[in-house]
Amino acid sequence: MVVGGGPAGAAAAAARAEGLDVELLCAPRGFRPALGESLPPGTDRLLHDIFGASMLNHQQHRASFGNRSAWGTADVEATQFVDNPFGHGWHVDRPALDESLLDRLRTLGVRVRSGARVAGQEWTDDQWRICLNDHPGTAIRARAIVDATGRGARIARSQGARRRRLDRLVAAYWMLIIADAGDDDCTTLVEAVPDGWWYTTPVPGHRRVVAFLTDSDLMPPRVARTGPDWHERLAHAPHIRDRLASSGSRLYSSPVILDAAVAHLDHPAGCGWVAAGDAAVSFDPLSSQGILTALMMGHGAGHAVAAVLTRADQQPLIRWGAEYARLLEAHLRLQAAYYALVRRWPTAPFWARRQNGNCRRM
Ligand SMILES: Cc1cc2nc3c(=O)[nH]c(=O)nc-3n(C[C@H](O)[C@H](O)[C@H](O)COP(=O)(O)OP(=O)(O)OC[C@H]3O[C@@H](n4cnc5c(N)ncnc54)[C@H](O)[C@@H]3O)c2cc1C
């Protein structure tokens, strides 16, 4: 059983083994946005390897040709994907991508139950009894669960796993309609400011994501989070402000505030369950690696569970756990190195906390 219909859950379900009956349960799409619109070069190849088909097309998604950032200095530097051996990246319509992965699973023989939120589960007699919120009287049985419920880590936490936060990063997030239908920008723009950083990315369907990342204690209070307040704050991020202006978009509404901290479970697997994707380890959005890692590690989790169920072989699960620990360590080193590049505001709390690889001491 896989719980969660994001990239990690879909990739886990795609690893189904011969003779195993796999079902995926996915909660209805709520009011919170499905996050992640930038995919780095190479993600299309990984998707093809996992799902056995091309999952990204130019009708639904847009090619991305690089990133631009005003980071260590106020000037914008560009990184082009033109030299990347994996080719270009993508700016995706995330709900459409998730839907197409679930459709693909159906053709692969996975039973996908959309609109099914797990409301409770119990592990007894070597199997799970799972209750759904819209069918309170019915219980589904399963021999194992892949918890791919995202940062909530719904199943793992119900089994006593604890989520360890390594920083306090939060995001103020907007999905804007853009007036300039001809906006042909195909890059993500990142800009550091004294109390954090901003990014903006074009999204298919004449939309644009804008987000401001800071620590939870530095986020303006709710009363100061109106459209005009944010518009004023953009004075600190002139490149983002100009990009929005030239695409005809404006911060006219209050943002959604989202958890964006680096966090991990104290143990990513237990009796009858394995966590994958953000449920197991969630990364700093600066890396744009969340979806790629969720796909890779979700698929690994699916194979590891299949090995346990079909051959009583624990080795793939042990290797998978070690790989997750290694990825987190590598991510933390990279994160510390990137933040250490910004030395423009040494006394500003956001950056002072991140100097000398100190991202974690908060
Ligand atoms: C501000 C921000 C920007 C980001 N931008 C990027 C980016 O540009 N590129 C990138 O690669 N990554 C980005 N990320 C990270 C990315 O969003 C995640 O790493 C990725 O979505 C993880 O996939 P997942 O499948 O583990 O979890 P999710 O995508 O969160 O999916 C979890 C799924 O579980 C379902 N679910 C939850 N509870 C239940 C339940 N009880 N029963 C049934 N189903 C349930 C949800 O409905 C959802 O479908 C960003 C993150 C943040 C915070």
DSSP letter string, 153-186: -HHHHHTT--EEES--EEEEEEEEE-S-TT----
What is the whole-number distance in angstroms between the Cα of residue 2 and the centre of ligand 1?
15
What is the whole-number distance in angstroms between the Cα of residue 6 and the centre of ligand 1?
6
152 CB-near residues (< 8 Å, 6+ apart): 279
What is the model's pLDDT at position 361? 47
Q: Residue 291 CA: which ligand 1 atom is closest?
A: 11
Taking CB atoms and a 6 Å cutoff, what residues make up the pocket around ligand 1?
3-9, 25-27, 34-38, 117-118, 148-150, 152, 154, 171, 173, 211, 258, 260, 277-279, 285, 288-292, 294
Is-contact 156 270, C-beta < 8 A?
A: yes
Q: Which amino acid is at 256?
A: V
Q: Residue 211 CA: which ligand 1 atom is closest?
A: 1
| CA distance linking residue 250 with residue 297, whole number of Å | 37
What is the whole-number distance in angstroms between the Cα of residue 125 and the centre of ligand 1?
32
Residue of minimum CA distance from atom 15 in ligand 1: 290
What is the whole-number distance in angstroms between the Cα of residue 35 and the centre of ligand 1?
6
Residues in the chain, how many?
Answer: 362
Q: What is the enclosing helix (H) or strand (E) of 165?
A: strand 163-165
What order do you get walking across the sheet with 256-259 strand by strand? 77-80, 66-70, 187-193, 196-203, 207-215, 169-177, 256-259
Instruction: Please write the tens of the pLDDT for every residue from 222-262.
Output: 888 888 888 889 999 999 999 999 888 888 778 999 999 99
Q: Which amino acid is at 211?
A: A
What is the whole-number distance in angstroms between the Cα of residue 36 and the centre of ligand 1?
7
What is the whole-number distance in angstroms between the Cα of residue 84 and the centre of ligand 1?
26
| CA distance linking residue 210 with residue 142, whole number of Å | 41
Cα 46 to its chain centre, rounded Å, is: 16
Q: What is the dihedral of CA 304, 259, 26, 121, to 10 degrees?
A: 70
Best residue among 35, 113, 296 to mutate for probing ligand 1, ranked by most atoms within 8 Å of CB: 35
What is the model's pLDDT at position 360? 55
Q: Residue 28 CA: which ligand 1 atom is closest?
A: 47
Q: Is 264 helix (H, G, I), strand (E, B) or coil?
A: strand
Is-contact 12 298, C-beta < 8 A?
A: yes
Which residues of the chain carry a pLDDT beneath 70?
17-18, 31-32, 180-182, 356-362
Q: Which amino acid is at 172?
A: A
Residue of minimum CA distance from atom 12 in ligand 1: 290
DSSP state of 150: G
Kind of pairing between the strands at 273-275 and 145-147: parallel
What is the whole-number distance in angstroms between the Cα of residue 22 and the centre of ligand 1?
21
Long-range contact pairs involving 85-88 (C-beta distance under 8 Å, separation at least 24) = 85/41, 86/40, 86/41, 86/42, 86/45, 87/41, 87/44, 88/41, 88/63, 88/64
Q: Residue 151 CA: which ligand 1 atom is closest?
A: 30
Is-contact 210 244, C-beta < 8 A?
A: yes
What is the model's pLDDT at position 359? 56
Written as six digits, the tokens of 99 are 């839907």
**What are 175's strand-pairing partners?**
209
What is the whole-number distance in angstroms between the Cα of residue 258 and the centre of ligand 1?
11
222 CB-near residues (< 8 Å, 6+ apart): none
Global pTM? 0.95
Written as six digits, the tokens of 87 are 């080719």
**Phi-psi group of 167: left, alpha or beta (phi > 0 → left; psi -120 to 50 → alpha; rest → beta):** beta
Domains and CATH numbers, the chain: 2-56+93-166+264-333 (3.50.50.60), 169-259 (3.30.9.100)
**What are 63's strand-pairing partners?**
90
Q: Residue 5 CA: which ligand 1 atom is closest?
A: 49
Best residue among 149, 256, 289, 293 to mutate for probing ligand 1, ranked by most atoms within 8 Å of CB: 149
What is the whole-number distance in angstroms between the Cα of residue 75 and the centre of ligand 1?
32
DSSP state of 69: E
| CA distance linking residue 197 with residue 213, whole number of Å | 5
What is the whole-number distance in angstroms between the Cα of residue 250 and the centre of ligand 1?
26
Give, in order, the Cα–Cα distances in Å from 108 to each of 23, 101, 189, 316. 12, 11, 38, 23
Best residue among 291, 299, 324 to mutate for probing ligand 1, ranked by most atoms within 8 Å of CB: 291
User: Of 39, 32, 159, 173, which Cα lies nearest the Cα of 101?
Assistant: 39
